[in-house]
């Protein structure tokens, strides 16, 4: 996913300007790297205690339009742009939205989400941040509950296999007592059950 902020190079904001403007948005946001101006920013930051990273690329407007000619709409006054690129990371998406909103306030930047050519206003960017955070919490809860479900299902499966082995052993002993089968089959089942029990105990310890 790619978002681009077009701005005038002469108005490139400093880190202090960005921090000051972001504080006004009332988000628990921090830059986690040292840089003087936006064109030195590498993409490492933190939101609500969650660290994230995304790619940043500074290019001239002409270089950006070489890659995305369809973006040449009402950007005549701009000569530079910064591209933010990220994957399936909701915290990264939220941080990019916060930084982009601050760029609109500082230097009247024009923001576009390249993937579907959506041009964003400051209000749209700010309103999407809580949505990103909500999706992040859902994803985190989903990851946390998966191991619990897995262990529960595994325990049920193990109990079922215990019953199967014991049932087969019981039936084979009855058949052996009635001289329907020889002792070999009950012994085989017993050996398999012992081996299975050893494997189950080793798996529990991992």
- Taking CA atoms, 177 is separated from 164, 174, 189, in Å, by 20, 5, 15
Pairing of strands 80-85, 2-7: antiparallel
Q: What is the pLDDT of residue 190?
A: 72
Q: What is the mean pLDDT of residues 106-134?
A: 96
Task: Write the Ramachandran bin of 12: left for phi over 0, alpha for psi from -120 to 50, otherwise beta.
Answer: beta
- CA-based radius of gyration for the chain: 30
Query: pLDDT category, 11, cuts 50, 70, 90?
Result: very high
The answer to whether residue 149 scores a pLDDT higher than 60 is no
Averaged confidence pLDDT in the chain: 87
Q: Is 160 helix (H, G, I), strand (E, B) or coil?
A: helix
**Predicted confidence (pLDDT) per residue in 167-185, tens digit:** 776 787 777 777 767 766 6
Measure the CA–CA gap between 158 and 206, rounded to whole angstroms.
16
Q: In angstroms, what CA-CA distances link 93 with 45, 88, 147?
A: 11, 9, 27
In DSSP terms, 5 is beta-bridged to 82, 111
Alpha-carbon distance 23 to 15, whole Å? 12
* 3-class state of residue 149 by DSSP: helix
CB atoms within 10 A of CB 62: 10
Q: What is the pTM of this model?
A: 0.71
Whole-number pLDDT of residue 192: 76
Residues 34-80: tens digit of each pLDDT: 999 999 999 999 999 999 999 999 999 999 999 999 999 899 999 99
How many angstroms separate the CA atoms of 53 and 42, rounded? 8
Check whether 114 has a pLDDT greater than 90. Answer: yes
pLDDT band, very low/low/confident/very high, at 200 (cuts 50, 70, 90): low
Angstrom distance (rounded) from CA 104 to CA 78: 13
Measured distance CA(169)–CA(173) in Å, rounded = 6
Half-sphere exposure of 89 (CA within 13 A, CB side): 21
């Amino acid at each position: 996913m790619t978002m681009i902020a077009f701005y005038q190079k002469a108005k490139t904001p400093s880190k202090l300007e960005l921090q000051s403007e972001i504080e006004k948005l009332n988000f628990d946001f921090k830059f986690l790297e040292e840089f003087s101006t936006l064109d030195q920013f590498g993409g490492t930051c933190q939101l609500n205690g969650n660290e994230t990273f995304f790619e940043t690329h500074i290019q001239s407007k002409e270089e950006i339009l070489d890659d995305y000619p369809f973006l040449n709409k009402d950007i005549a006054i701009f000569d530079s742009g910064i591209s933010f690129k990220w994957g399936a990371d909701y915290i990264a998406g939220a941080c990019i939205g916060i930084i982009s909103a601050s760029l609109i306030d500082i230097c009247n930047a024009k923001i576009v989400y390249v993937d579907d050519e959506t041009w964003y206003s400051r209000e749209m960017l700010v309103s999407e941040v809580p949505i990103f955070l909500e999706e992040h919490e859902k994803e985190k809860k989903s990851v946390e509950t998966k191991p619990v479900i897995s262990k529960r299902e595994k325990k049920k499966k193990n109990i079922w296999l215990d019953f199967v082995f014991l049932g087969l052993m019981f039936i084979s002993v009855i058949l052996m007592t009635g001289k329907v089968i020889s002792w070999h089959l009950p012994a085989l089942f017993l050996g398999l059950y012992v081996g299975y029990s050893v494997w189950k105990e080793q798996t529990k310890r991992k």
